[in-house]
Amino acid sequence: MTKLNVLVSGSTGYIGIQLIKLLIKHDNVNIKYLCGSSSVGKNISTYEKLLNSKKLPKIVKYNKSFLNNVDLVFTALPNGEAQTISNDLLKHNVLIDLAADFRLNNASSYLKWYKQKHKSISNIKKSIYSLPEITGNKIKNFNIIGCPGCYPTSVLLPLIPLIKNNLIKVDNIIIDSKSGYSGAGRGVHKKYKDKNLYESLSAYGVGFHRHNSEIQQELDNFTKKKLTFTFTPHLTPMFRGILSTIYVDLNKGINIKRLEKTLNDQYSKKGFVKIFKTNSLISTNDVINTNNCYISICETKYKNRVIILSSIDNLIKGGAGQAIQNMNIRFGFNEMKGLK
């Protein structure tokens, strides 16, 4: 059996912990290094008691010499840091980044939206943005893989097939997304110390959230028309999960059944995306602790307008699970391995 030696950098954040919890169940993975900064010398069980019984290496500071001994590097780091590691990669290394360093196709867009100069511009062209259900086997030709953000995952999975098949108008899409506060990272309590995270709902990044750039880039790939949308994210008083509510207008002659058929045709052989019957009211509770995306299309009082509901677990399908899904495809494993 093929065993990949794996390094996880950024191992103590919410996404890093979730990644480790999934990787230890994967038969083809050997966790060689866990890397951190302020956590150096500690056991990962300091941050997650459920990992106490597992034989895992102590957390160490990243050193590029580690790359000689690993096949795969997962980076769950603050934006910008995976770029530096990408410059150290050897020919046999694959890097899967769970942050935003390789999500955008050019350095100028990265500077505009993330207010940082990209430190590995040459590697942008060597990387691929991979939403697994859409990208498929294309990622086998790349050693640097950028995983989608959590909000974009919930938005792109329902919208791409509909836009690709010219079923909906693309000049006024409205996206209202609500996420558990884990989506803001382990520092969420400091960042939002003046908000009552456990009892209130908060809008943030209104009009200019960074994920706008990612959604725009990927949707533009599937239409020749000028695509405009409004995206508003919210933090909700729950730890994990995303529910995106998407308002779209239908093109002439198109009905809900046509939309559902298109989505079913796209995802019928994809084990993690499930399309529900018209007007099904899905929730985050349906997908928590899974790598699934549930999608439902609902009628409105207007014949030419529908509401799409899309629900994922932001830490799994919107993060660690999707990264492992990409790993499985890249290395020729069963796409669902370690994720059922």
Q: Identify which of 271, 320, 316, 311 has the alpha carbon closest to the alpha carbon of residue 289.
A: 316
Strand runs (DSSP E) across the chain, as ranges? 4-9, 29-35, 59-60, 72-75, 94-97, 127-129, 144-146, 173-180, 202-203, 229-236, 242-249, 273-275, 293-299, 305-312
Structure tokens at 78: 């603050």
Give whole-number Cα distances, 99 to 104, 166, 210, in Å.
11, 31, 12
Active site residue 293: no
User: Rounded to whole angstroms, how far apart are CA atoms 76 and 97?
Assistant: 6
Token pair 């999960």: residue: 241
Q: Which of 147, 150, 293, 298 is catalytic?
A: 150
User: Rounded to whole angstroms, how far apart are CA atoms 101 and 10?
Assistant: 14
The count of C-alpha atoms lying within 13 angstroms of the C-alpha of 227, restricted to the half-sphere facing its C-beta, is 23
Backbone angles phi, psi at 147, to 5 degrees: -85, 145
User: Rounded to whole angstroms, how far apart are CA atoms 14 and 16?
Assistant: 6
Please give the positions annotated as active site: 150
